[in-house]
A = this chain, B = another copy of it.
Amino acid sequence: MSDLPKSILITEEGPREGFQVEQEPIATARKVELIDALSQTGLKRIQVVSFVDPKRVPGMADAEQVVAGIRVKPGVEYTGLWLNQKGLERARATGKLTLEGKISLYPSEKFLMRNNNRTLEQQTEYVHRVLDSYQEHGIPVERGSISNAFGCNFQGDIPLAKVVAMVGEIYDIAARHGLHIRELSLADTMAWATPLQVKRTVGAIREQYPDIRINLHLHDTRGMGIANAYAGLEMGVDMFDSSVAGLGGCPFAGHKGASGNVCTEDLVFMCEEIGVRTGVDLDVLIEAARLAENIVGHPLPGSVMKGGSLAKLRQSAR
């Protein structure tokens, strides 16, 4: 019936996605508390902070302190996000994060301008410069990344051919630095994707680049997150970004309805129920989701944290 993978690798992005958009300031200790709770769920990769301009993203001004506070659990990788050299330097200086470079391209110049303040040409120049810097510091680069791969509030629909061509550009840029790309992250930054489009996009890329491992970063603004993830699973996608309790949202997506990534516990629920292993203990994760809600002090969109897992119901029904 499908090419469902046996297991998936989840990158939890709730702390980074969530705390960067909250209106009210959140104490550093509480951010650390959530990250430490997430470390106990079985998640293997957690993106904990972004190193960005504190004037533009005040919620991330304490990024260094958050990283310093984390109780590192062996076997869990902690990562950060940066958008320029200065951010990379800050991430390196923590000495505590798993550093991985990536080649990030944007089919939407209008978004690139708002998010990163660069033109398409400036972005390519930037990518070359940053690759030099990664190589100088021995930071591995195996990933390409395409933001707004499914549509953009400013640019409109993104033609599939443009996305596929951009994968070629990423390979070319990597080749010029003697690098080989193994992973490709496709981001539905502004929630334009549908399950059918996910299937078509993954299929078209796979046809030309059969060996590339695809990661999906799916925002849930229009409620399609889980359906899009399922479509990805059916195409054999086995890497997903997600956000505990559905925390988060992009501060530059340009409308207030922008919500976070697909919800981690909803994704874990679906995967485990259909026999795709996540390595995550769903009931422990649900506790972390409730903690996230307690920390931000308002309801979060996750469903399974409210509806509950089926484990206890199965038990009591026996």
A interface residues with partner B (beta carbon < 8 Å): 1-2, 4, 110, 151-157, 191-192, 194-197, 199-200, 203, 220-224, 226-227, 229-231, 255, 257-259, 263, 266, 269-270, 273-275, 299, 301-304, 306-308, 310, 313-314, 317-318
Contact = CB atoms under 8 A, between A and B. Distances in A.
B196 A266 contact: no
A78 to B, nearest CB: 27
Contacts of A203: 1
Contact of A195 (B224, B230, B301, B306): B230
Given A196-B274, A227-B227, A231-B230, A222 B153 contact: no
B223 A304 contact: yes
A156 B318 contact: yes
Contact of A257 (B151, B273, B307): B307
Contacts of A302: 223
B307 A227 contact: no
Please tell me how many copies of the chain the complex holds: 2
Contacts of A231: 230
A317 B152 CA distance: 9
B195 A270 contact: yes
A199 B220 CA distance: 23
A310 B151 contact: yes
Nearest to A269: B222
Contacts of A154: 317
17 contacts: A1-B199, A1-B200, A151-B310, A155-B317, A156-B313, A157-B314, A191-B307, A192-B310, A194-B270, A195-B227, A195-B230, A197-B274, A223-B307, A224-B226, A257-B308, A259-B306, A259-B307
B310 A223 contact: no
A317 B266 contact: no
Given A156-B313, A197-B273, 12 more contacts: A153-B313, A156-B318, A191-B307, A194-B274, A221-B306, A222-B266, A223-B302, A224-B303, A226-B226, A227-B227, A255-B307, A258-B307
